């Protein structure tokens, strides 16, 4: 081939200039989407910019910020690392990578990146603030680890309800019974409790501890995978993540009725964290579990874990509203939550999704020893963390834990286990639900306007026993008291999510 002509070089330059201009335009549009909390659209816009001009560190760092808002911390980590490779002095690359590490609970890695950024820009006031906050968090974690000792026996066995008398000045709802003979939970008490929670008041710790202890015994007696039978003329409602949005939970019950023997529910994990009324949510759900053990079903999500609760607000909220002993009891109780439900032998309901290997059976899930904090790999981890992907096969998770699984994986798993449908939660969806994998994988998410900023609808699914065909209801968020999301989380996590 001959040498390029001058006109050819000029044409190539014009093409490059045009592509770079289009990339900048895509970035600007994505920035606007980010400001409007349209984070997936922002990701798509930054991706377009990167395809047009892949050598700009800012595009990767901005996409990392959008991934962080979507809780795709693994993808954010990769983008921030690419930004740093392109420009080792680009402070926001280190910022974003540190924020991604924070979201994954990798506090020491976050601190390392904040220190690197500080070495590049030692006078940056926002950076100094984040560095100091992160240093305090690492010190706190190290202090707690140093003090921690293996428990000689379960926290529940150390709790003495009789040592918590109901004082005469308490003006809240009372369970039936008395101090000497004990108290009994009733539906009237639960309804009165919901009303008190609406007024931002707590119930007496004696009653709160009793609810948790009784629910713990029910969870402990359940298998890791619960079979739920729905009569031909009956139904069940499945809800996704609630995330401490108590007033939206009340709205679900306003729309669909309170739990009862004739109106059973499954709540599919992530009851707590993020929203700042998580104590109210979990006590309400556990109280109905105690009232209707066979008609109120709760499954574990990835946020029913000690690591997430420390980061995203639930532990701080429990300590603020009650005490550290109750936080420890919740941690212990969460470890007994079942990992999933099978409806009429046809529908599997789990929080996250499917697995990194073929051939997994329902009996494999039933054999999981669940009484522990979630591991970082294996079946239990993937049940809690995985997500569907558009393409076939499997890929690394955008979250940095679990796996992304395709339509072929879903179809093979369902066929292998004689199932019709997979229902999972774990991801915000604009309409509250989404059908993937030719309709064989459904995501349901029940926290509308997630974290007071996402603008999404919530949804729940009703299954009738006769057909087991999903029927969807979507709903908008309702007003709540002026308490911001993640109000009880560390300041460093609130700033990371713009709160």
Domain regions of the chain by residue span: 6-147, 155-496
Whether 6-147 and 155-496 share one fold: the answer is: no
- Render pLDDT for 328-362 as a digit per residue (tens, 0 to 9): 999 999 999 999 999 999 999 999 999 999 999 99
pLDDT at 439: 97
Instruction: Name, in order, each residue with C-beta under 8 angstroms of 299's C-beta and a sequence gap of 6 or more.
Output: 266, 267, 268, 269, 337, 338, 339, 340, 341, 349, 350, 351
- Render pLDDT for 214-272 as a digit per residue (tens, 0 to 9): 999 999 999 999 999 999 999 999 999 999 999 999 999 999 999 999 999 999 999 99
pLDDT at 495: 59
- In 3D, which of 226, 206, 241 has the Cα closest to residue 347? 226
Strand, coil or helix: 207: helix
- In 3D, which of 368, 365, 466 has the Cα closest to residue 416? 365
pLDDT at 2: 43
pLDDT at 86: 96
CA–CA distance, 464 with 189 (Å, rounded to integer): 30
**477 with 448: CB under 8 angstroms?**
yes
Answer left, alpha or beta for residue 302, where phi above 0 means left and psi between -120 and 50 means alpha: alpha
- In 3D, which of 375, 357, 230 has the Cα closest to residue 300? 375
Low-confidence ranges of the chain (pLDDT < 50): 1-6
pLDDT at 3: 46
To the question of domain 6-147 being in CATH 1.25.40.10, the answer is yes
CA–CA distance, 248 with 206 (Å, rounded to integer): 26
Residues annotated as catalytic are: 303
pTM of the model: 0.91
CA–CA distance, 57 with 88 (Å, rounded to integer): 9
Q: Which CATH superfamily is domain 155-496 in?
A: Metallo-dependent phosphatases (3.60.21.10)
Radius of gyration (Cα) for the chain, nearest Å?
25
Tokens representing residue 354 in the block: 């499917």
pLDDT at 153: 86
């Amino acid at each position: 081939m001959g040498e390029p002509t001058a006109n050819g070089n000029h044409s190539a330059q014009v093409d490059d200039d045009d592509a770079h201009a289009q990339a900048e335009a895509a970035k600007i549009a994505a920035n606007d989407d980010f400001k409007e909390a349209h984070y997936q659209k922002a990701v798509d816009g930054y991706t377009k910019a990167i395809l047009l001009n892949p050598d700009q560190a800012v595009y990767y760092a901005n996409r990392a910020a959008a991934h962080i808002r979507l809780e795709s911390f693994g993808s954010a980590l990769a983008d921030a690392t690419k930004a740093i490779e392109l420009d080792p002095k680009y402070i926001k690359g280190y910022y974003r990578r540190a924020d991604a590490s924070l979201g994954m609970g990798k506090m020491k890695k976050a601190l390392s990146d904040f220190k690197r950024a500080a070495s590049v820009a030692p006078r940056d006031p926002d950076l100094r603030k984040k560095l100091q906050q992160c240093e305090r968090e690492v010190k706190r974690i190290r202090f707690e680890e140093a003090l921690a000792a293996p428990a000689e026996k379960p926290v529940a066995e150390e709790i003495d309800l009789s040592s918590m008398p109901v004082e005469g000045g308490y003006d809240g709802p009372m369970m039936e019974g008395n101090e000497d003979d004990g108290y009994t939970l009733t539906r009237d008490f639960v309804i009165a409790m919901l009303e008190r929670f609406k007024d931002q008041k707590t119930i007496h710790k004696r009653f709160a501890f009793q609810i948790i202890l009784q629910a713990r015994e029910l969870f402990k007696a359940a298998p890791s995978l619960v079979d739920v039978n729905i009569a031909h003329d009956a139904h069940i409602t499945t809800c996704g993540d609630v995330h401490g949005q108590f007033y939206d939970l009340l709205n679900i019950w306003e729309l669909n009725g309170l739990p009862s023997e004739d109106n059973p529910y499954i709540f599919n994990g992530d009851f707590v964290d993020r929203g700042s009324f998580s104590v109210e949510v979990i006590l309400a759900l556990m109280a109905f579990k105690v009232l209707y053990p066979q008609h109120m079903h709760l499954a574990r999500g990835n946020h029913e874990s000690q690591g997430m609760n420390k980061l995203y607000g639930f532990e701080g909220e429990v300590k603020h509203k009650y005490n550290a002993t109750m936080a420890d009891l919740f941690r212990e109780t969460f470890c007994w939550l079942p990992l999933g439900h099978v409806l009429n032998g046809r529908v599997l309901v789990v929080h996250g999704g499917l697995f990194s290997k073929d051939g997994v059976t329902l009996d494999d899930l039933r054999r999981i020893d669940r009484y522990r904090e979630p591991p970082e790999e294996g079946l239990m981890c993937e049940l809690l963390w995985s997500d569907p992907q558009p393409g076939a096969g499997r890929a690394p998770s955008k979250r940095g834990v679990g796996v992304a699984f395709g339509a072929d994986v879903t179809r093979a798993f369902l066929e292998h286990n004689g199932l019709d449908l997979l229902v999972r939660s774990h991801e915000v969806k604009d309409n509250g639900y989404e059908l993937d994998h030719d309709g064989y994988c459904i995501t349901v998410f029940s926290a509308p306007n997630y974290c007071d900023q996402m603008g999404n609808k919530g949804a729940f699914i009703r299954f009738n026993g006769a057909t087991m065909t999903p029927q969807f209801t979507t709903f908008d968020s309702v007003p709540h008291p002026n308490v911001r999301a993640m109000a009880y989380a560390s300041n460093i996590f609130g700033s990371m999510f713009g709160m």
